[in-house]
Amino acid sequence: MSTSPAPLPIRLLAQWRTFAPSWMILAGLAVMPLLLSSPNFIRLLFVTLLWITTSVAWNLLGGFAGQISFGFAVFYGIGAYTTALSMNAGVNPFIAFLVSAITAAAASLLVGLPTFRLRGPYFAIATIGISEAVRVVMTNLSFTGGASGYRIVEHRAFRQLDHYYTALVLASIAVAFSVFISRTRFGLGLNAIRQDEDAAAGLGVNPYAYKLGAHALAAALTGMVGGVFSRYAAFIHPQGVFGFQTSVHILLMPVIGGIATIWGPVLGGVVFGIVEEQIIASFPEIHLFIYGSMLILIILVEPGGILGAFRKLLRRIHGRR
């Protein structure tokens, strides 16, 4: 029997049904701020969307390719500063975001070219060193104001919804990228690298080039998030955008949600956004404790994160029936 692919309309229909929930979520997020127009609620959604984007971006490298990086604050910070500097030079913000993406991707090559010669944990340690070194340099650099920070002046009225929809588009692009990559040869190659780098190389995957590619994509997305954030915040400083905390947050979300999946990092971003903005606001003294114990629990009990635990639960319920 011939196994020719189904005709295009049927394939599209099948795909449409797979993605129907995502389109519904997207539509919901698009109309949400029009129904509930409390500025604080929109801010929460905006920040959560930004976190989701960085989480999904980190997952391209840390999840799909299995290269844990503690240094994503570098790209976040470079994106933030690039947008800030370009906007103050009179560049349109959306062009500034693109410039941020390109600069961050270029920086990712500078970081990746030497460090991807290292394997797994050594790469992770090297990224800590690089990220701290960059922060120290940025704290001392004079043309960006050094440790005292940098102000962004935008000569038009502040409209929160502009920022919100920018973040929504960015998050959608990130998720679309993640879905797309997981279905291509590139994604399969990254998967193979995560499982066994030597075997992947034996099968004709070039681990070095693949990792650099995933790193650059992740950095570009993270850089854009940094840019969007800096335009919203209108003030950035190295301890914030280049801070170790930023790297930690970006790494925690996908691990909490479920590493190397498409929806895990999104879930992680949502959980993190809510935890960071709501729970921490009420119990600021235990936020590191919450993150640390979450991390310990996930590693020891359920390496698949929340998504993995949820799937296990579903399987058990179905098994009982």
From the CB of 68, what's the least distance to other proteins, in Å?
5
Q: In one letter, which amino acid is 114?
A: P
Q: Which residues pair with 88 in a beta bridge?
A: none
125 contributes a contact to other proteins by CB under 8 A: yes
4-12, 120-128, 158-166, 268-276 -> range binding other proteins (CB under 8 A): 120-128
Q: Nearest approach, Cβ of 249 to other proteins (angstroms)?
A: 11
Task: Out of 137, 279, 281, 313, point to the residue binding other proteins (CB under 8 A).
Answer: 137
Q: Which residues contact 164 (CB under 8 A, 6 or more apart)?
A: 33, 42, 45, 46, 49
Integer angstrom CA distances of residue 239 from 147, 155, 170 = 7, 26, 25
Residue 206 backbone dihedrals phi, psi, to 5 degrees: -90, 95
Mention every residue, 6+ apart, whose C-beta is less than 8 A from residue 83: 93, 96, 97, 99, 100, 152, 226, 227, 228, 230, 231
User: Which window, 23-31, 36-44, 132-140, 181-189, contacts other proteins (CB under 8 A)?
Assistant: 132-140
Say if CB 25 and CB 52 are below 8 A apart: no
Q: Which two tokens stand for residue 32?
A: 């949400």
Told to check if 309 binds other proteins by CB under 8 A, we report no
Residues 264-293 that bind other proteins (CB under 8 A): 285-289, 291-293
The span of 26-34, 115-123, 214-222, 232-240 binding other proteins (CB under 8 A) equals 115-123
Minimum distance, C-beta of residue 107 to other proteins, in the bound complex (Å) = 14
DSSP 65: S
Helix (H) or strand (E) holding 236: strand 235-236
Q: Looking at beta carbons only, is 202 or 292 nearer to other proteins? A: 292
Interacting residue with other proteins among 42, 169, 280, 295 (CB under 8 A): 295
Nearest distance from residue 135's CB to other proteins, in Å?
9
Nearer to other proteins, 167 or 298 (CB): 298
Rounded least distance, CB 75 to other proteins, Å: 16
What is the three-class DSSP state of 204? coil
Two structure tokens written together for 265: 């990092």
As a whole number of angstroms, the distance between CA 128 and CA 133 comes to 9
- Contact map string, positions 175 to 204, toward other proteins, x by CB under 8 A: ------------------------------
The alpha carbon dihedral of 272, 278, 281, 286 has a sign of negative
Q: Which of residues 68-97 bind other proteins (CB under 8 A)?
A: 68
Residues 6 or more apart whose CB falls under 8 angstroms from that of 153 comprise 87, 88, 234
Site for other proteins contains 139 (CB under 8 A) = yes
CB count in 10 Å sphere of residue 242: 28
Position 255 contacts other proteins (CB under 8 A): yes
Nearer to other proteins, 287 or 311 (CB): 287
- Least CB distance from residue 65 to other proteins, whole Å? 12
> With respect to other proteins, which residue has the nearer C-beta, 43 or 287?
287
Contact residues for other proteins, defined by CB under 8 A: 66, 68, 114-115, 117-118, 120-122, 124-126, 128-130, 132-133, 136-137, 139-140, 244, 248, 255, 285-289, 291-296, 298-300, 303
